[in-house]
Amino acid sequence: MNPTTDEPNGPAERMRVEALAAALARHGVGECRLAIVLGSGLKSFGDVLEDRTEIACADLPHWPVPRVEGHGGSVVIGTVAGLRVVCLTGRVHRYEGWSVGDVVRGVRAVRRSGVPDLLLTNAAGGIRESFVPGDLMQIEDHLNLAGANPLVGPHEDAFGSRFVDQSEVYHRGLTARLASLDPALKRGVYVGILGPTYETPAEIRMFRTLGADAIGMSTVLEAMAAHAMGARVVGLSLITNHAAGVTGARLSHDEVVAAGTEAEGRLHQLVTGFCRSLAADPVDD
Ligand code: HPA
């Protein structure tokens, strides 16, 4: 499909989300307890699910198909350590030309089909000077500097209330549970920007002054859209590089990808532990 051009809120977008949610529900997504958006470094997590069903994004109505070479993205439903989960691979970004509605449609549809919790993962640059590549940071809060908001447009009750409280976008109970599983886990504020360029050192100094610890080009819009629909959201960043100016080294996408691949095992372990913990002892509100 081509990027949609209307606003991310409103009847046309609601109809797309409902059609997609109905298709997902036919594959049993409604029985999943957790949806996981797989960012860089976790892409292969869908392969380890037991009892799995994989649906190509291209076979789902209104699902934006990533334009990355060789990988159209898919939805994988299965079981991890006793927990029924749905994994979304093939996230799309606004810097590729996709609209805000396209970017958040997948998380809205899984929420609409009944999944209560959402884990968003991403690759991020470390702004805090003590962060090193390979660190994992759980997102305690975010700065939305992506220049957009998923709730813009004619109001649709199905997507949340008109003015949504943002005091706790990342669910405290789920975040505390994740933290309890890995003593080395860092915590901090993620700033979401549009991209696709990396930042200048002056911009990174500005973001640090504003309170950001890590930076990336995804996650905030998905978190806001899912939270508005009542999902309990938890966010996890893999620090793949020092942000611009922190060490003076130039940033390269290849290094970001390589750091992601290197940390894959630890990320798998943490997410599997999170699933095991939720299966054994659900987090109540
Ligand atoms: N900046 C923005 N996005 C990123 C970075 C970064 O340094 N690293 C990984 N994603």
Q: Which of these is catalytic: 74, 113, 144, 241? A: 241
Q: Could you give the 3-state DSSP secondary structure of residue 187?
A: strand
Q: What is the rounded average pLDDT of the residues 99-116?
A: 97
| pLDDT digit string, tens, across residues 5-44 | 888 999 999 999 999 999 999 999 999 999 999 987 677 8
Mean pLDDT is lowest, of 64-68, 101-105, 224-228, for 64-68
φ/ψ region of 34 (left if φ > 0, alpha if ψ in -120 to 50, else beta) reads beta
DSSP 129: T
What is the pLDDT confidence band of residue 68, given thresholds at 50, 70 and 90? low
* Ligand 1 site residues, Cβ closer than 6 angstroms: 123-125, 198-199, 215-217, 240-241, 243, 251, 256
pLDDT value, residue 253:
84
pLDDT value, residue 71:
60
What residue ranges do the domains of the chain occupy? 11-280
40 as an active site residue: the answer is: yes
Six-digit token string for 251:
């940033």
**Residue 250 alpha carbon to ligand 1 centre in Å:** 12
Q: Which fold has domain 11-280?
A: Rossmann fold (3.40.50)
Q: Using alpha carbons only, how large is the chain's radius of gyration in Å?
A: 18
pLDDT of residue 181 exceeding 90 = yes
Instruction: Report the distance separating Cα 156 and Cα 59, nearest Å.
Output: 26
**Residue 53 alpha carbon to ligand 1 centre in Å:** 32
**Residue 123 alpha carbon to ligand 1 centre in Å:** 7
pTM, entire model: 0.96
pLDDT of residue 69 exceeding 60 = no
Six-digit token string for 285:
């509100």
According to DSSP, the residues that pair with 224 across neighbouring strands are none
DSSP 250: P
